[in-house]
Amino acid sequence: MALNFDIAIIGGGASGLAAAIAAAEELEKNKKRGKIAVLEANVRVGKKLLATGNGRCNLTNTGVALSHYHGDREFLSPVLELYSPQYIMDYFASLGLLCKEQDEGRVYPYNLQASAVLDVLRRQLERFGVTELCDFQVTAVKKIAAGFEVSSKEQKITSRKVILASGGLAYPQLGANESGYQLAKALGHTCTRLFPALVQLKTDPLRAKPLKGARSPAAATLLVEGNPVQTANGEVQFTEYGLSGICIFELSRKYGELHGKKKAELLLDLMPEYTERQIFSVLKHRCDLFRDLPASELLNGCLNKLVGPEVIKTALPNSAKYAGELKPSDLALVANTVKQFRFPVTGTMPWKDAQVTAGGIPLAEVENSMQSKVCRGLYLAGELLNVDGDCGGFNLHWAWSSGITAGRSAARSFL
Ligand SMILES: Cc1cc2nc3c(=O)[nH]c(=O)nc-3n(C[C@H](O)[C@H](O)[C@H](O)COP(=O)(O)OP(=O)(O)OC[C@H]3O[C@@H](n4cnc5c(N)ncnc54)[C@H](O)[C@@H]3O)c2cc1C
């Protein structure tokens, strides 16, 4: 016999867990009873949450603002205004989890363990008697007179309201899959183009390989057809396939928007605090000082020891052997390359390396309450929607905020 619920949440990730707790709290506050279930395809809820922020869970950012979001950001204000970063921190504090702010407004649990975040969420679910049905991969959601019939291959439940919080396509190794989009589409929604964001950018492997493992601070600029479109500062990490690091992640979204249709390059300024002229002077001084220094080591005092020789090789393919043999015009070329070290961009790494999905169900298809405009009784939350944020806690902030909104709204529909 099918189990019956008042609110069934599809997806036990950040937004789904927040939705379940918010719904239960709202019912309790209004002295109502209701049966709530979280249906999760994985054997446990919150698997991705444990991997966030390198296991530390960067759960919000004190600098939350519309400018940190992409997709349908013009629809975000009502939700972001209700749920400020302070609200989210207070919310977790009310669950017994202290948070602390670190660099650039990033907020983490005080003990820097993502598992602490999942623990308090699960304890709160337990306290409210929310049913966790794991290993429940929802394959169909059908509208029926009493609400919805929700099925997996093996089981079926009914629920008066459904919250679809099934996440995006990023990190399929932790359960992300396209079923949520298909369920939404079957219920009348549309979906924009989906592409990986907050992901490494690929370059010519011949350029990448010699630099593999190196890290370098830089101002990285994405050039499209030769024109600068976005710059991000931070540490660039060179990998076997291309370039990584938070600043590259930030640029990857803009690159994804091009859909591979335009020529893109990454331009790295490897010494952003110095002018080209100053770098020239430093190089000239080193050459005068160490005339028998191998030319390939000229930049060792300034740049990472893997990066420096590659810059020299790029600037001076037929370089002299020793620093003392380099002409001022050679040094000018090297200084210029330090400021403009270029890489062709040949693509992004695949979904398994991405932190978030760009694109999704348009926010124009949901109300501010997160209820679907095309299928009444259905609510949507989280990464499934056409919203993605910058690196730094903005995606989880959206997941909590939209999840709480959806959970509260679904519960209020019974009051
Ligand atoms: C490695 C990594 C690190 C990250 N670090 C951060 C960070 O530090 N800060 C930050 O803000 N963001 C971070 N993000 C992004 C953030 O984790 C996501 O944006 C956020 O988890 C999205 O929440 P969600 O609830 O929408 O989806 P998810 O958390 O992905 O949850 C969706 C859940 O639905 C389940 N599901 C899917 N389909 C079905 C189905 N058909 N039936 C039943 N269950 C289903 C999935 O198994 C999953 O558990 C990171 C992402 C990754 C991959």
Strands 156-164 and 147-151: antiparallel
pLDDT band of residue 1 (cuts 50, 70, 90) is low
Is 196 near ligand 1, meaning CB less than 6 Å away?
no
* Integer CA distances (angstroms), 218 to 106, 133, 392, in order: 21, 47, 18
Nearest-atom index, ligand 1, CA of 54: 3
Assess whether 399 and 335 both reside in one domain. Answer: no
Is 387 near ligand 1, meaning CB less than 6 Å away?
no
Is 314 near ligand 1, meaning CB less than 6 Å away?
no
CA–centroid distance, 254 to ligand 1, in Å, is 21
Across the range 290-304, mean pLDDT stands at 94
Assess whether 182 and 41 both reside in one domain. Answer: yes
Q: What is the Cα–Cα distance from 253 to 263, expressed in whole angstroms? A: 15
CA–centroid distance, 13 to ligand 1, in Å, is 5
CA-nearest residue, atom 9 of ligand 1:
393
pLDDT for res 2 = 76
CA–centroid distance, 15 to ligand 1, in Å, is 8
Helix (H) or strand (E) holding 197: strand 195-197
CA–centroid distance, 227 to ligand 1, in Å, is 34
Assess whether 295 and 164 both reside in one domain. Answer: no
pLDDT for res 342 = 97
Across the range 165-177, mean pLDDT stands at 96
Across the range 100-119, mean pLDDT stands at 97
Q: Which of 348, 369, 395 is the last residue of a domain?
A: 348
CA–centroid distance, 146 to ligand 1, in Å, is 30
pLDDT band of residue 301 (cuts 50, 70, 90) is confident
Mutate to test the pocket of ligand 1, among 10, 43, 52 (most ligand atoms within 8 A of CB): 52
pLDDT for res 318 = 80
> At residue 320, does pLDDT exceed 80?
no
> At residue 321, does pLDDT exceed 90?
no
Alpha helices (H) in 144-264, listed in sequence order: 179-186, 205-208, 246-257
| Tens-digit pLDDT profile for residues 143-160 | 999 999 999 999 999 999
Where is average pLDDT lowest: 43-52, 218-227, 311-320, 397-406?
311-320
> At residue 169, does pLDDT exceed 90?
yes
Assess whether 97 and 156 both reside in one domain. Answer: yes
CB 311 within 8 Å of CB 295 = no
> At residue 33, does pLDDT exceed 70?
yes
CB 374 within 8 Å of CB 350 = no
Collect all residues with Cβ–Cβ distance below 8 Å to 243 and sequence separation of at least 6.
Answer: 200, 201, 203, 208, 220, 236, 237, 266, 343
Q: What is the Cα–Cα distance from 73 to 86, expressed in whole angstroms? A: 21
Assess whether 187 and 228 both reside in one domain. Answer: no
CB 410 within 8 Å of CB 379 = yes
Q: Which of 319, 348, 377 is the last residue of a domain?
A: 348
pLDDT for res 20 = 98
The β-bridge partners of 237 are 215, 244
In the chain, what is the straight-line distance between the N-terminal and C-terminal CA atoms, in Å? 28
Cα 200 → chain centroid: 12
In 3-state terms, what secondary structure has residue 56? coil
Is 388 near ligand 1, meaning CB less than 6 Å away?
no
Is 133 near ligand 1, meaning CB less than 6 Å away?
no
Q: What is the Cα–Cα distance from 401 to 407, expressed in whole angstroms? A: 10
Q: What is the Cα–Cα distance from 387 to 363, expressed in whole angstroms? A: 8
CATH of the domain at 19: 3.50.50.60
Nearest-atom index, ligand 1, CA of 389: 11
Assess whether 191 and 58 both reside in one domain. Answer: yes
Is 396 near ligand 1, meaning CB less than 6 Å away?
yes
Angle in degrees, 0-180, between the axes of helices 14-29 and 114-127, rounded to the nearest 10: 40
Is 58 near ligand 1, meaning CB less than 6 Å away?
yes
Is 392 near ligand 1, meaning CB less than 6 Å away?
no
CB 134 within 8 Å of CB 40 = yes
Is 42 near ligand 1, meaning CB less than 6 Å away?
yes
pLDDT for res 276 = 98
Across the range 32-49, mean pLDDT stands at 97
CA–centroid distance, 49 to ligand 1, in Å, is 7
pLDDT for res 40 = 98
Assess whether 324 and 394 both reside in one domain. Answer: no
| Tens-digit pLDDT profile for residues 229-256 | 999 999 999 999 999 999 999 999 999 9
CB 170 within 8 Å of CB 383 = yes
Site of tokens 């202290």: 98
Mutate to test the pocket of ligand 1, among 157, 351, 355 (most ligand atoms within 8 A of CB): 355
**How many C-beta atoms lie closer than 10 Å to residue 412's C-beta?**
14
Is 85 near ligand 1, meaning CB less than 6 Å away?
no
Assess whether 299 and 385 both reside in one domain. Answer: no
Is 171 near ligand 1, meaning CB less than 6 Å away?
yes
Cα 331 → chain centroid: 40
Q: Which of 348, 368, 401 is the last residue of a domain?
A: 348
Is 53 near ligand 1, meaning CB less than 6 Å away?
yes
Site of tokens 């005068």: 288
CA–centroid distance, 352 to ligand 1, in Å, is 13
Structure tokens at 404: 């709480």
pLDDT band of residue 171 (cuts 50, 70, 90) is very high
Task: Please give the tally of structural domains in the chain.
Answer: 2
* Integer CA distances (angstroms), 358 to 83, 162, 177, 259, 380, in order: 22, 24, 14, 12, 16
Assess whether 336 and 379 both reside in one domain. Answer: no
Nearest-atom index, ligand 1, CA of 170: 53
Question: Among residues of the chain, what percentage have pLDDT more than 70?
Answer: 100
Across the range 125-144, mean pLDDT stands at 98
Assess whether 240 and 280 both reside in one domain. Answer: yes
CB 307 within 8 Å of CB 216 = yes
Is 356 near ligand 1, meaning CB less than 6 Å away?
yes
Across the range 46-54, mean pLDDT stands at 97
| Tens-digit pLDDT profile for residues 257-273 | 999 889 999 999 999 99
Which residues constitute the domain of residue 336?
200-348
Assess whether 112 and 185 both reside in one domain. Answer: yes
Q: What is the Cα–Cα distance from 57 to 48, expressed in whole angstroms? A: 10
Across the range 54-82, mean pLDDT stands at 95
CA–centroid distance, 335 to ligand 1, in Å, is 44
Assess whether 289 and 242 both reside in one domain. Answer: yes
pLDDT for res 189 = 98
